[in-house]
Structure 1
């Protein structure tokens, strides 16, 4: 889905920072950046100036700055900042988000008054509202003529839950003090039965959003037919929540019961007892994933414990957090592609074969979480594929040892150095082509190695690792 709370110009500025952030040297030639971003050099240079002005406005300029140097753009980045922090600030201060926030908290009265208060023309406010309407329409949420949020109540709550979590994380600065005290009271009651409950930040945002919606008008109570597991009313969580809701919410017994079910369904993100793992849809998708595993019989996964983790993940993405892709930032999954190529292919094929309306707003997050679960299980069940490397440079043994020490930075792979070339040698790294009858791959490096030499080495390691995973055992 398009994220329309950031305008095109801001999105471009974030893209420039991220491009530089991914570069090994934190720098890139202007012409290359222009080609990759499909922009003119004038727009690139103007955007760099604007980025630095934005960083000053956000009081981040001491930690991050972009510098033009000849035909290059260089990113200076401190240890306490990344593009994600810049994105949070762009979102917090965007005209779209600030106006949407007034709508959510029922503080928006009219376009005329909003424009007068913030020094904007009606035309500008209309344009901002139009972008907000388009953003919400992607999730079937509408704005009424009186600027009330209209649509499926759970979807409205999910949208703001994910949006506020994306921006505020563990902070409750957005909410009024009475709601903060009320939510903290509930979490304190939960703590004897779940010590880590204070870290359930997504859950906390849901509670705040629920209170805001319920406090407006009674019609905001959830319908009683929401999708949820059949809860055991003897459960401590249920009893605590039932008592808290009776004190906190003003509604009929049926309305409060619906809210209790809605809140407990959000706990399923963290607690498996609130997941209906025998759900027909969960079973259907698990079997589809299992079909992909059958293509690779060398992978000994999908046992009962793993199946439970996969089932829980599927359940959560389908029912508990169906809009969770809103929380995702730009991610580079190349590590998983290189380290776990077969698992990556399995998950990618599974996601690719889903219909457009299946996990419509949670496909990316589902893909990532399946990768995390399966890769962890893979590491537990399989020793890392040992890659045998022979290092031999004409500079002598001390230089060979220096190169071996540098190669150890590839700690994601299990590397074994062999003193001589053997039949099971996977790779020879040298500054000449050794005479050998074995079929080991060879790399020729300059001394000292260039960035391109390391890049070639990384590519070779990835290819060898993939081959070892496919073949499982050496012949």
Structure 2
């Protein structure tokens, strides 16, 4: 699922242009190459880059971005504290399809496409094309938009989509009626406590999911999915019966529904809270159908690298891998939103061993996964390995000789710096040994008798010296034993 499909076509093209620039070294590309990549004329290229410059002003991003177009080259000047997905959110926020969708959900009885087109100063024909495009896109996601402007179909998909759009378009709780707002705050009081202490990102995601779920529940749409998934969800038990009873009581107080509908709602809400990490590991019991996946993951990792993970690492990895599988099985549409938050180049370069293992693990799964789900599981598994397994524990030692004229104390400072900046299994000595792969020194004319590569530093080294050293160490790691 790509939310960008709901954007205006011209905005999609501009985001694509920005993406090409962002992925290129120094965010710089020749104009002819950009035209070729985008398959557009010089006129369209000039128009789109001009529109991006206008968007930067309109979105008040001038302190973060600037686009410079010369006769031969286009350069994206970018503040290091941001990324181009800022544009994605703005482009989505002004999308007519998304505006139509949010109005249909919150004010369906009063929605009229003629009035909507007139309010936005465009023709009915123009807006009807957007309505038709929206209907076609939703159908691909298992959601039907009927002639009565009613959303039906995959109820979980509808809720997850609405929750994501609530976040992107900054829909506040004031949009909803008193009943929903009251129920929302009562539910949040059970979550936002000093003991649980959820992060801001967890609260934002949870609040959006709750608003979408409460609205749909109030409108008479209950969670409905396949019997297999429903059975799996019902097996996931949160060991907090008292809290569950409070949730049931909140639903019973504010919304007329039968006991089964409310229990299903609690099952899915509890599973969602476990997935986003608000309900912590000790309080969640996943069924055997899920835990077998994490067991295979850990066993395969230990066999692949010939290591035995600590009990704590196994527990953490088990929980995270279980969560990502439940995420894909129970909330399949949610993994589609993950693409906008991932950048794997750093991990491929810094953790190639973990990267390769997770790729193999996902490829060996018998479960039918689409590309986005496979990417989601791969990335989550990779993150949990990086977070819980020291890279040095699975790597062969990399011997480095550190020898500076300022003496032992200064050598120790450099050694500490190497271990602070590098996660590799670096072993530092003060003399050259048969296994030494690199010499770091300030002695310009020393070590002429050896072919071992040398790094000649100033004292003290500059920031770029450390950066170059880490690149050298990473390069050695990809060439085992100096071969």
Q: Which category of TM-score, normalised to the shorter sequence, fits these structures?
A: 0.7 to 0.9
Aligned twin of 2:45:
44
Q: Give yes or no for the alignment of 1:297 onto 2:308.
A: no
8 Å contact kept, 1:301–1:377: no
CA distance in 1, matches of 2:340, 2:76: 20
Which residues of 2 match residues 428-467 of structure 1 at below 5 A? 435-436=448-449, 440=452, 460-466=472-478
CA distance in 1, matches of 2:250, 2:208: 17
- TM superposition shift of 1:257: 2.7
CA distance in 1, matches of 2:294, 2:287: 11
CA distance in 1, matches of 2:327, 2:159: 16
Q: Per the alignment, do residues 18 and 361 of structure 1 end up closer, same or farther by CA in structure 2, a change over 3 Å counting?
A: closer
Which residues of 2 match residues 2-17 of structure 1 at below 5 A? 2=2, 3-17=4-18
Aligned twin of 1:56:
57
Q: Give yes or no for the alignment of 1:210 onto 2:202.
A: no
Aligned twin of 2:342:
331
- TM superposition shift of 1:40: 4.8
Give the secondary structure class of the aligned counterpart of 2:340: coil
- Structure 1 alignment gaps of length 5 or more: 446-451
Number of residue-to-residue matches in the alignment: 453
- TM superposition shift of 1:147: 1.8
8 Å contact kept, 2:238–2:270: no
- TM superposition shift of 1:318: 2.3
Aligned twin of 1:423:
434
Aligned twin of 1:238:
244
CA RMSD of aligned residues (A): 4.2
CA distance in 2, matches of 1:302, 1:317: 27
Aligned twin of 2:287:
278
Q: Give yes or no for the alignment of 1:357 onto 2:363.
A: no
- TM superposition shift of 1:230: 5.5
Aligned twin of 2:102:
101
TM-score, normalised on structure 1? 0.79
8 Å contact kept, 2:307–2:394: no
Residue of 313, 318, 334 corresponding to 1:307: 318
- TM superposition shift of 1:388: 4.3
8 Å contact kept, 1:26–1:76: yes
Residue of 416, 421, 440 corresponding to 1:411: 421
CA distance in 1, matches of 2:30, 2:454: 31
Give the secondary structure class of the aligned counterpart of 1:228: helix
Give the secondary structure class of the aligned counterpart of 1:67: strand
Give the secondary structure class of the aligned counterpart of 2:75: strand
Q: Per the alignment, do residues 437 and 408 of structure 1 end up closer, same or farther by CA in structure 2, a change over 3 Å counting?
A: closer
CA distance in 2, matches of 1:173, 1:17: 33
- TM superposition shift of 1:50: 0.7
8 Å contact kept, 1:323–1:362: no
Q: Per the alignment, do residues 264 and 287 of structure 1 end up closer, same or farther by CA in structure 2, a change over 3 Å counting?
A: closer
CA distance in 1, matches of 2:238, 2:359: 37
More helix by share: 2
Moved more, 326-335 or 172-181: 172-181
Moved more, 240-249 or 180-189: 180-189
- TM superposition shift of 1:183: 1.4
Give the secondary structure class of the aligned counterpart of 2:13: helix
CA distance in 2, matches of 1:296, 1:196: 37
Q: Per the alignment, do residues 350 and 39 of structure 1 end up closer, same or farther by CA in structure 2, a change over 3 Å counting?
A: farther
TM-score, normalised on structure 2? 0.77
